[in-house]
Amino acid sequence: MNKFKSTDTGGLLLYILDDLRWIDEGIRDAIKGMFTQFGLNPSDNFIFSGCEFTVTSITGGKRYTHTEGYIYLDGEVLKVDAGYIEVLDADWEVGSVIYWDLVITYDIAGNRIFESGVSHDTYEIRKAKLFFDVPGGDVMPYNANDIVSKYLAGFKSKESDWLSAGSLINGWSNIGSPFSNIVYKKDLFDVVHIKGAIYKSSPDTSVIFILPGELCPTETRRFGDIVIESNGDVHTEGGDASQFIEISFKI
């Protein structure tokens, strides 16, 4: 994305530059915040769109050709022009990597003379380009994950694992293999999922197990023969000796 470079001083309507700087920082913070909501941080670099690669052989090495696209690099969305990079086999050494990095150029139309008499480039063009060398720190490799992989990973990181209900009570038992024992979890959207297969030789309405407080519904919920009370008690309304449970509800 382009950025109005407003770090130079000297008298070019400084109060306007302050306003533009404020807007620019706000937009960047909004982008960071949007991705953070899905478990992504500024350091979680990924391919936003495009940037599809074709690798072909050349004399003594390979050519990495990519399509146009956009990447998310260090908390910023950068455009990538279609292009390629050629790497010779003989140039590879320990630590070598093909990676994306920021390249800054300037649009000549943004060259302005400030009141101080000094000219400054103000139309900054920020794009990403491929490089090949031994970087001095962490970089974004050319074949980094795309946004779908990162997005799903972000959801996964915010979703709890399946938790066991432990030993059931009042004579209820898990049927066992090949069926799941009673387990539950809450997903990113605050939906509670419960599944498992249980058995009691003389079924009744006694409590089977108790959900932890943070997973309890705000009011009594009924799913067929299974009832979940607002205090977390899970029981049946009678019915079969064997119960196969797979229910979900929003809290």
- Would the pLDDT of 38 be above 70? no
Query: Between 168 and 74, where is the model more confident?
Result: 168
pLDDT of residue 93: 86
Query: Between 161 and 41, where is the model more confident?
Result: 161
In the structure, what pLDDT confidence band is assigned to residue 75 with cuts at 50, 70 and 90? Answer: confident
Structural domains of the chain sorted by starting position, each given as residue range(s) with its CATH number in brackets: 3-157 (no CATH), 163-250 (2.60.40)
Percent of the chain surpassing pLDDT 90 = 38
- Would the pLDDT of 67 be above 90? yes
Reported as a single tens digit per residue, the pLDDT across 6-26 is 666 665 554 566 667 767 776
Q: Which residues pair with 226 in a beta bridge?
A: 223, 236
pLDDT of residue 5: 63
- Would the pLDDT of 237 be above 90? no
pLDDT of residue 73: 87
CA-CA distance, 35 to 29, in Å (whole number)?
Answer: 10
- Would the pLDDT of 195 be above 60? yes
Residues 168-195 as b or e (16 or more Cβ within 10 Å = b)? beeebebbeeeebbbbbebeeeeebbbb
pLDDT of residue 137: 79
- Would the pLDDT of 217 be above 70? yes
pLDDT of residue 70: 93
pLDDT of residue 9: 64
Lowest-pLDDT range, 56-70, 92-106, 107-121, 147-161?
Answer: 147-161
In the structure, what pLDDT confidence band is assigned to residue 41 with cuts at 50, 70 and 90? Answer: low
Mean pLDDT of the chain: 83
pLDDT of residue 21: 72
Lowest-pLDDT range, 2-6, 56-60, 247-251?
Answer: 2-6
pLDDT of residue 78: 92
